[in-house]
Structure 1
């Protein structure tokens, strides 16, 4: 079965948080026999900041950030059995969706894959004439990065034929335990770019606790924080390449996950970082969001903080042995239940059981 997948980028995680998600899922689907082509625009300097080469398991087509190039690559949607357009591609998203739908075969399975459902749904609610809102009746299915019932119900109410969450997971080939790296020594580490929807929560859950725990060291990685006021015990190291994420996760005594506000409000949306950290065997502290117990068991496989004071209390009482045990249990849990092989099994069942693909198989 051929998949034409139109997304932000597979070969670069530069300002592209969905890269790990795409790589893990598509590799696992390729292992199930799918023939996948990933189409990505050359925008936002991503091609200058590649962190992987085009993989053997997926053909990557990079097109210029022009309308003519967009129309050339969307014409190839006619060759696919499953056609996917994701949210947040970053170049002419509305036109891209329209051209994908125009070129897809009538019998192809047509999917919108939303990797930021809270933001997308906010746009749809604000604009009754939004092109995606109108296109929902032409799509066969909406798949989402997360969100649970609030997101599913919202998409169905807007006219989607169906909406199914496909959650983040672990790719054991890329995220796994490694040796500690002295560059990342700290008591608590946080890795994330500075975003308007997360900055206040980073202040509350990370920067403020640092001021109350002056004898502990805090490590901040990510872009955009260079002019942020921080206490002296915060070591800001800037952008951290994906190749160093495992070492970043395993070296500090604990690492912190802080959801964007919209993701926390919707719940059931574990960030990629949750599984990256667990897969490396890190002791993870996460802010609270509804549904976390479906993925990791609080107090045994993950530590949960509802506010900055909880972070202070956790760090004040966390010793190295307890942190190591939590990380080991988290690693065992995600390997047993939450790898991209598990998620790909779900996606494969969805594809093969859909009326369009069942009809194709019968023919």
Structure 2
């Protein structure tokens, strides 16, 4: 039997998924921790951008609270932070450096960092250009949880002084991502907020195939795309797709495309949550190529492409049977290893391994 933990997260946003992949990650992890019986609080900086686009105002799996300034965070939430068994600061928290300095002197339990943007963070930290984490602060944390695995974990410890670096990848919620009975509308689709370093790959692997296959249908869903982009006539645009609609969106695609940010490709071992969501919905995936991809999806469970012709060959050359067999294998892998429940167990397991402060065993903790 394990005792109930009081866990406090400080993250970019839980309440809004608008242009923000962090919300999906936090929602799945916190929901799973709640199901395991832990008490979870999420502290979010109240900023206009997310306040105007909130799609989760009153979560039933955690206590969501807002603060306006670092001083208010200290004044109104210091007791909760002091008494928490675990405090986790996420990447891109506004004024994160000041927040971390404050918490380092307050927390009496485990103090952790959850980097949902590890390659971006390390590049900025190395240049002393990161406003949410300073290099000197990395050794403050008992555990540095990272969205990126592989060699980056060793680099965190040896080069940046992390006491302990552990992977905590994104995950999917099977209760919200599953195959529905929607009729397939698009041969290939993509879900992702605009990013300049992804756009060239999106052009090569979706827009160019669309131009060459005018009788096929394509779709791109996501916000912040520049108005000057010339979308082919057979590419449908969806400006924003809230998490509740992701399953239906993936279920209407014959294939879905995964495009990885340049920094994530360079680091490797950085799976996107869209990979796991699509697989959970039974939708076959075409992905760009990056080191470590086969650790999550073997070649038999995913298609990879490096140019438009690769995509066209897949769309025109794969049988329906082969496509569905690949999707079933990816689905099985994700359900076994990459759910929110799996991540919650990994998270608490790391905190209770030898040498950790916490002991979740009720008998030995008494």
Do they fold alike, i.e. is TM over 0.5? yes
**Aligned match of 2:87:** 83
The Cα offsets for residues 39-78 of structure 1, whole Å up to 9 and x where unpaired, read as 01122532332223422221111223x3432333552311
Q: CA deviation at 1:359?
A: 10
Matched, 1:127 2:131: no
**1:51 alignment partner, one of 51, 55, 59:** 55
- 2:165 is matched with 163
Q: Which residue of 1 aligns with 2:296?
A: 295
Task: Report the 3-state secondary structure (helix = DSSP H, G, I; strand = E; otherwise coil) of the residue aligned with 1:45.
Answer: helix
Aligned to 2:216: 216
Specify the alignment match of 1:138 in structure 2: 140
Task: Tell me which moved more, 111-120 or 211-220.
Answer: 211-220
Cα RMSD (Å) of the superposition?
2.2
Q: Distance in 2 between matches of 1:331 and 1:212?
A: 30
1:4/1:80 contact within 8 Å kept? yes
CA distance in 1 between partners of 2:307 and 2:152 (Å): 23
Counterpart of 2:112?
A: 111
Cα distance change of structure 1 residues 73 and 148 upon mapping to structure 2, 3 Å threshold: farther
Aligned position for 1:327:
327
CA distance in 1, matches of 2:148, 2:250: 23
Separation of aligned partners in 2, 1:207 and 1:216? 12
Change in Cα spacing, 1:327 to 1:136, as seen in structure 2 (3 Å) is same
Deviation per CA, 1:288-334: give whole Å up to 9, x if none: 12112222222x32111133332222122134443333222222221
Partner of 2:206: 206
Change (3 A) 1:173 1:136: same
Structure 2 unaligned spans of 5+: none
* 1-structure distance, mates of 2:360, 2:240: 48
Give CA-to-partner distance per residue, 1:109-138, whole Å, 9 cap, x none: 111110000000001111299852111222
* Structure 2 CA distance for aligned equivalents of residues 128 and 54 of structure 1: 35
Whether the 8 Å contact between 1:142 and 1:164 is mirrored in structure 2 is: yes
SS state of the match for residue 85, structure 1?
Answer: strand
**Which whole-Å CA distance do the structure 1 matches of 2:180 and 2:145 have between them?**
33
In structure 2, the residue corresponding to 1:83 is in which secondary structure? strand
TM-score normalised over the length of structure 2: 0.90
Count of aligned pairs: 356
CA distance in 1, matches of 2:110, 2:176: 30
**Other structure's SS at 1:60 match:** strand
Show the counterpart of 1:61.
Answer: 65
- Please list, as runs of the form range in 1=range in 2, the aligned pairs for 1:229-244 lying within 5 A after superposition: 229-244=230-245
Per mean C-alpha deviation after superposition, the further-off stretch among 53-62 and 78-87 is 53-62
Q: TM-score, normalised by structure 1?
A: 0.91
Confirm or deny: 8 A CA contact 1:117 1:147 kept in the other structure.
no
